[in-house]
Structure 1
């Protein structure tokens, strides 16, 4: 018998995290603001706090829901389903518990892959898609992440994160991140991920996630064979021009598909929502204001699946949809 879904909250541990129990597992999330729902999905090894520089300004316009994905942050880290489809199902269940029917779903890195999977599985609940330096648009990814799929990498990471040198390594990474070098821009966030990997449960969960979408050669689970389906949903793509984790060239997929808006931000790396939070908020607000929510029509969805390409639709983005690079 399948486990039941129970509403166990909201509860709080003293900060802005709340908790529900879904299928027997604790799920942590942040929820604030009012207005249309905006779901923010973090990247691999991160948690909902990665959005802390944009949540408050976005909450002035939206009901913002920022969960810790299963296996991350304060959520449970069980021996469970860590596939993109499993994450998409978990987001559907969380939203259902919270009484939210439809969302604009935004995802960073791994969260971008989950956002695309959510829109693919639940088009009737997706109003818009926002991809921030997203996974799932090409094979290339930094060797540091691909290393997680190599046999024995768990033991190597366990050794590398032991207490005697953990503080020294993390401090060094943070110090390097404060330099003006492009190559060290993201090391402050890398330090947080590095420290979290000292926990065996977190390490196991992150490796399970990674193994579902890539091997030592790169990402083998991508949405490139289904990107044509996104032409009936407004899609915003934001990428850091200096991204050394997932190359900015992956944004070309969005350009080729004539998605709604593509923005490449100079002076930003893999975490543009932290490097240039004001610009990310402004771009997202302008995108939502200028693009009405998608309306799911089963007949249209069926026609697109049968043809494998975009049918002639009045609601589809124009072939001359702009590509925008934010200067400054």
Structure 2
């Protein structure tokens, strides 16, 4: 499939007094695409067009990002999940397959947890919430002085040199710098003090100086009632791809795909493969149907307890209960 880039018109809606920006394209089953920290809907530009040939695509700018308002507000995962529910309600959309990248993956998981009756499937792209490790650059946002230091680093002359240097390094395609073109865009957005303040609130809600503090691992067993796919790049420098290995333990029915050599933005590096994966995932898995009794039973029973492992001369074996 040849790469297609679509630039649909950005639309706006006022919810709770704040302007929310989003793009809408295509027809068919609805995909809700949630971007990562400091990004906006344009991170999905390489895949919106091809996906819109088969789906209705809704790609919002999360509050505090892009063209959406950046108020002093609730920037928790729960707050974002509520915001997505309200946006979909205003747009007249009842159910979605939710796709979340990085921090947006955390929002997607929270949305599926809070609103299972509105979630058909869950696709996570290099998501937060599956382990504590995260790049020191993100941890630095939580430190005192970040706001003031970034104000100096985003002054016009400094910002243009810094962003230009990042994009030049990204064009070398070296593994450690392959994602710097996207990082440059995030860095430029920090010139807006409202954006810096919003991002600081977002990060402090999910990360401290030691790493990620919010996890979905303790609730992953709930995906027994919902199809889940996890996509990662093997060369991710932001959130390590080894977190994908945790999925097999906490959600053994999930579909896990690690793209060799890809970085933190596999949907941008390999848009054709990403679209193929998402289409196949949507077509091969039946949409989840919320049933209150089943959800109650899952919550009451909790996560399955792994069978103990007994060492033998021929190696470990599972001991039946």
Partner residue in 2 for 1:79: 72
Is residue 18 of structure 2 the alignment partner of residue 16 of structure 1?
A: no
Deviations 1:111-162 (A, max 9, x none): 0000000000000000000000001111110000000001111111111111
What is the distance in 2 between the residues matched to 1:154 and 1:178? 29
Partner residue in 1 for 2:274: 280
Which aligned segments of 4 or more residues in structure 1 are displaced greater than 4 angstroms?
Answer: none
Partner residue in 1 for 2:292: 298
Are the equivalent residues in 2 in contact too, given 1:267–1:275 (CA < 8 A)? no
Give 1:137's match in structure 2, choosing from 112, 130, 139: 130
SS in 2 for 1:54: helix
Partner residue in 2 for 1:219: 212
Are the equivalent residues in 2 in contact too, given 1:304–1:310 (CA < 8 A)? no
Residue 309 (structure 1) shift: 2.1
What is the distance in 1 between the residues matched to 2:261 and 2:269? 7
Larger radius of gyration: 2
SS in 1 for 2:244: helix
Residue 267 (structure 1) shift: 2.5
Report the number of matched residues.
298
Unmatched 5+ stretches in structure 1: 1-13, 312-328
Partner residue in 2 for 1:69: 62
What is the distance in 2 between the residues matched to 1:16 and 1:182? 34
Partner residue in 1 for 2:52: 59
Are the equivalent residues in 2 in contact too, given 1:231–1:310 (CA < 8 A)? no
Residue 198 (structure 1) shift: 1.1
Deviations 1:160-199 (A, max 9, x none): 1111211011000000001031001000000000000111
What is the distance in 2 between the residues matched to 1:152 and 1:166? 18
How does the TM-score come out when normalised to structure 2?
A: 0.91
Residue 255 (structure 1) shift: 1.6
Residue 260 (structure 1) shift: 2.5
Is residue 166 of structure 2 the alignment partner of residue 166 of structure 1?
A: no
Is residue 229 of structure 2 the alignment partner of residue 236 of structure 1?
A: yes
RMSD (Å) for aligned C-alpha atoms: 1.2
Are the equivalent residues in 2 in contact too, given 1:236–1:259 (CA < 8 A)? no
What is the distance in 2 between the residues matched to 1:155 and 1:269? 30
Are the equivalent residues in 2 in contact too, given 1:229–1:310 (CA < 8 A)? no
Unmatched 5+ stretches in structure 2: 1-6, 306-321
What is the distance in 2 between the residues matched to 1:24 and 1:184? 40
What is the distance in 1 between the residues matched to 2:134 and 2:174? 20
